Structure 1
Amino acid sequence: MGSILTRIFNILGQAISYSCRSSKGNEESASFLDRAMEEHGGTFRSNHVEEVKVLARVMPVLFGTAFYATVYAQMQSSFVLQGARMNLVYGDFTFPVASLSVFNKISLLLLIPLMDTVVYPLCEYFGFKLTQLKRMGFGMFLGTIAMVGAAGVEVSRKNIMDNGGYKEQIIANASYNASTMSVFVQIPQYFIFGASEILTCNTRTEFAYSEAPKVLQGVLLGVSVFTGAVGNYIGSLLVIVVNSVTKGHEWYPDEINDGYLERYYILLAVLLLVNTGIFAVIGHYYTYVDNSVTISEPPDNEIGYKEDISFTDMKIDELISWRDKVLPFKEKLLTEYEM
């Protein structure tokens, strides 16, 4: 992995360096990355430069899903806070609010085989092929619907409390004013996120793997996971910005009963919808890799420069011939040494 990344950065550095210089002849017609190729005065093989081109094409698609991770993270954050202020007690049993995410996992178990065996084949049967980018786009749109649903639940929860439908609820030795609305009303938003996850997250991993040359598959899978981390940081920053703008009437305070969480959910839904539109534009101009054509990986040294001599370029019979010539000479030296 280290040598691959080193080669990628060396190619980019060389391309930038050569582009900043004045050039003549056929180098003027070379594209930015092509300037690092041997045939354009660079020191890298064409197949290595082509790999970086693939990486450059796929990266915008992967980072186009980063904000989806911001919205997806609500299941582990604001949804839990919302659920803690809903009715969790049924008889002598108190339902663990964090375990409500199990319905997200149930939806994955139910919908993955359904999508693979029914939905995708049915779409193709009617002439509408759900490509990987279309699936991701639909998945992000479902995320928007889930957030609108969560906003509706929050409005209903607070309306019930305003009309006297609330009680004190103790969770982990902490006391909350909770609505009498059942926490199971949250199930649809978790379930919709499950369908959204199948279309976006699972397909994103599949896309990164299928579009990358073999040598870059690990790199792109890592980038795919990294976009999720970027989305989480965006979410943290967004909360700070929103609370700063709405200071005095914070949308997302520590105690959500005193805030306007429904407005924050609508904001996320609108931003994700805008992000989905941008992603649709990126996907419209994206050209899938032709899997019938593979980028070869000839032997090279650690950072990708061409070597003059390689034993892998020698035929087996040449190696045998070389051995037959060297061994007698070695035996003769040993004999003289012993004498």
Structure 2
Amino acid sequence: MDEKPELSARTPLLSVAAHERTPSRNISINRIKEVTVQRYNVCTLSVFLILATVFCEQFAFFSVLHNMVLFCTSKLDFTSFEATMTCWIFSGTVYMVTPLVGGYLADSLCGRYKTILGSGFIFVIGKILLFFSAGDFKSWSGYDREDVTKALFLTSLVVISIGSGGIQANIIPFGAQHVSHMGPRAVQTFCHWYYWARNIGSIASAGVVYLQQGTKQFCWGYLMSLLILVVGLVIFRVGKRTYKHVPPSESVLKKAITMCWKMRRRDRGQFNMSQFETSNIYDVKNVLKSLPTYGFITVYWMSYAQMSTSLFLQSTELDLSIDGVNIPPAFLIYFNPAMVVLCIPLMDTIIYPLLIKCGKGPTYLQRIGIGMFLAVLALCYAGGLEIFRKQHEQFVQESTNISYNASSISVFHQVPVFALLGLSEVWTSITGLEFAYTNFPDYMQGLITGLFLMTIGLGSVYSIILTAIVQRAKPEYSGLRWVIDIRAQNWYPNDPAANGHMEVLFFLIAGITFVFMLIFVFVTKFGYTSTQEDSRTQFVGSHNKLNSENT
């Protein structure tokens, strides 16, 4: 009887009854350290092919995302506000809507392999439409139709969101199932290298972005990324015989919704517990208990969503010249994935194992909190830089044939912003993936992955709502305080030559994130009780299962 509270404290999101269904977890801390620092070779042929597919898919995806604001403003004559909204709606659709549909198809109808391959073909169709939307209709057909261009572009975004979302929702659990037999530490390592391949794809897409923003040849840049995507699908198809194919079964999402609906009627005596397996009931309860954690992560993604939109617009208003040659405005964005690529091997092979060996390994919740704090620092720096920018001499800067009211401050002053956001991603985002694979059974990992991707989409939705609200409230700086005045400038400048007041938006989002971070710290400190030993146990997660199999 005395052991139950202790077990519940070690993994607070798992109930006591859930522990009764698993092997004994009473192991020594020395054994935990031994298992934690053990290395796993996850670089099998199937995993390599999956990671290569991730690289190609993310190359194609980020070549669209990182150029969207510029394409909308220069090619389609959108205002900065309209371009930003378009980018966030696209991101929200990719990460929030289609992962649920793609996960359902993979779980209950097609299986993960067929769903990924089918989503890839849909992605290709979307990229073809995007290529034609970026083309020069006047030279191709003899007349210029802006309405056709906009219709093709928006249609391509819908198709791309379906294809990319279907791939991203399934390729993580599909890859993890190839290393799950090696134990949870191998799954965590795969999550790290998945994220590494994802960000390598983002960095590689910089060449396409440079071509598009430097020469304004959007169609050829999109064609290049289309070819890379086709190569990725060929690579994925070649590995069919090496993959583990899990046949579809009843959808976990459908089962969970049915169970929750019937449990609502328990107080009226209409819930028959024998309809479901006891383990399934406890697993669904654990998912519900994890929702607050993912709720806090959504606020983090609202901060992160500024990178391809608000921070990009800030780049256009800083001095882009290096020895008289202008660099593309999106160039600084790639310091973010570069930081991730550098930090992942360092954290996975040195820092985390060393911290655990010293008995100071941070818990999942602590790592998420650290990432949120780094995001707050990044946006506060961006807000301060925006104020600093306006205090210096300004000049008209030509970039991609558009005139911007730029400051004499170098754009490289933005490097700390993107570096901090990249570091925060290592602490928060990758931890969210690890959390899904070490606290829940295998059959629920697809559902948890969908929930994790939904947090990214919800972050974009929150950004849309917040920006739409504050766009109507036009602040004016008077003395030492901000005054809301309908006669003042918009927060998002509609004219590239206007300044706007984006510093207020940066500080507002940083403040919201900071408040939620404090609530998160309070909840994790007083909502869950853990000792130093428990923290290390939670950090290694389900290593205990591997431990019990070896003893």
- Determine whether 1:168 maps to 2:396: yes
8 Å Cα contact 1:87/1:180 also seen in 2: yes
Q: Encode CA deviations 1:151-204: one digit per residue, 9 max, x unaligned.
A: 1111111000xxxx2221112221111111111110111111111000001111
Q: Which residue type is aligned with residue 191 of structure 1? A: A
Give the greater-gyration-radius structure (CA).
1
- Determine whether 1:251 maps to 2:491: yes
Q: Give the secondary-structure state (helix, strand or coil) at the position aligned to 2:472.
A: helix
* Distance in 1 between residues matched to 2:343 and 2:358, nearest whole Å: 20
Structure 1 residues 72 and 56, CA, compared in 2 at 3 Å: closer, same or farther? same
Give the number of equivalent residue pairs. Answer: 274
Specify which of 326, 346, 367 is matched with residue 135 of structure 1: 367
8 Å Cα contact 1:137/1:200 also seen in 2: yes
Q: Which residue of 2 aligns with 1:17?
A: 265
Q: Give the secondary-structure state (helix, strand or coil) at the position aligned to 2:391.
A: helix
* Distance in 2 between residues matched to 1:56 and 1:146, nearest whole Å: 31
* Distance in 2 between residues matched to 1:65 and 1:127, nearest whole Å: 26
Q: 1:65-144 alignment to 2 at 5 Å?
A: 65-124=297-356, 127-144=359-376
Please provide the CA RMSD for this pair: 2.2
* Distance in 1 between residues matched to 2:458 and 2:259, nearest whole Å: 25
Q: How far did residue 22 of structure 1 move? A: 5.3
Q: Give the secondary-structure state (helix, strand or coil) at the position aligned to 2:396.
A: strand
Q: Which residue of 2 aligns with 1:152?
A: 384
Which piece of structure 1 moves more, 218-227 or 110-119? 110-119
* Distance in 2 between residues matched to 1:124 and 1:45, nearest whole Å: 36
TM-score w.r.t. the length of structure 1 is 0.75
8 Å Cα contact 2:259/2:281 also seen in 1: yes
Q: Which residue of 1 aligns with 2:43?
A: none
Specify which of 254, 261, 271 is matched with residue 6 of structure 1: 254
* Distance in 2 between residues matched to 1:217 and 1:223, nearest whole Å: 10
Q: Give the secondary-structure state (helix, strand or coil) at the position aligned to 1:259.
A: coil
* Distance in 1 between residues matched to 2:513 and 2:495, nearest whole Å: 25
TM-score w.r.t. the length of structure 2 is 0.47
- Determine whether 1:241 maps to 2:241: no
* Distance in 2 between residues matched to 1:157 and 1:290, nearest whole Å: 49
Q: 1:292-311 alignment to 2 at 5 Å?
A: 292=544
Structure 1 residues 170 and 291, CA, compared in 2 at 3 Å: closer, same or farther? same
- Determine whether 1:184 maps to 2:416: no
- Determine whether 1:272 maps to 2:509: no
Specify which of 265, 273, 294 is matched with residue 37 of structure 1: 273
Q: Encode CA deviations 1:135-163: one digit per residue, 9 max, x unaligned.
A: 11000000000111111111111000xxx
Q: Which residue type is aligned with residue 49 of structure 1? A: I
Specify which of 207, 215, 228 is matched with residue 435 of structure 2: 207
Q: How far did residue 123 of structure 1 move? A: 3.6
Q: Which residue of 2 aligns with 1:51?
A: 283
Q: How far did residue 101 of structure 1 move? A: 1.2
8 Å Cα contact 1:64/1:279 also seen in 2: yes
- Determine whether 1:60 maps to 2:292: yes
Q: Which residue type is aligned with residue 284 of structure 2? A: V
Q: Encode CA deviations 1:252-289: one digit per residue, 9 max, x unaligned.
A: 33347432211211111111001111222343325867
* Distance in 2 between residues matched to 1:271 and 1:72, nearest whole Å: 13
* Distance in 1 between residues matched to 2:269 and 2:252, nearest whole Å: 29
* Distance in 1 between residues matched to 2:328 and 2:453, nearest whole Å: 29
- Determine whether 1:197 maps to 2:436: no
Which piece of structure 1 moves more, 119-128 or 173-182? 119-128
Q: How far did residue 36 of structure 1 move? A: 4.7
Q: Which residue of 2 aligns with 1:263?
A: 504
8 Å Cα contact 1:68/1:143 also seen in 2: yes
* Distance in 2 between residues matched to 1:112 and 1:148, nearest whole Å: 25
Q: Give the secondary-structure state (helix, strand or coil) at the position aligned to 1:76.
A: coil
Structure 1 residues 130 and 275, CA, compared in 2 at 3 Å: closer, same or farther? same
8 Å Cα contact 2:405/2:499 also seen in 1: no
* Distance in 2 between residues matched to 1:118 and 1:291, nearest whole Å: 18
Q: Give the secondary-structure state (helix, strand or coil) at the position aligned to 2:398.
A: strand
Structure 1 residues 216 and 282, CA, compared in 2 at 3 Å: closer, same or farther? farther
Q: Which residue of 2 aligns with 1:313?
A: none
Q: Which residue of 2 aligns with 1:302?
A: none
In structure 2, stretches of 5+ residues that fail to align are: 1-106, 109-250, 475-485, 530-537, 547-551
* Distance in 1 between residues matched to 2:544 and 2:324, nearest whole Å: 62
* Distance in 1 between residues matched to 2:284 and 2:255, nearest whole Å: 9
Q: Which residue of 2 aligns with 1:220?
A: 448
Q: Give the secondary-structure state (helix, strand or coil) at the position aligned to 2:319.
A: coil
Q: Give the secondary-structure state (helix, strand or coil) at the position aligned to 1:74.
A: coil
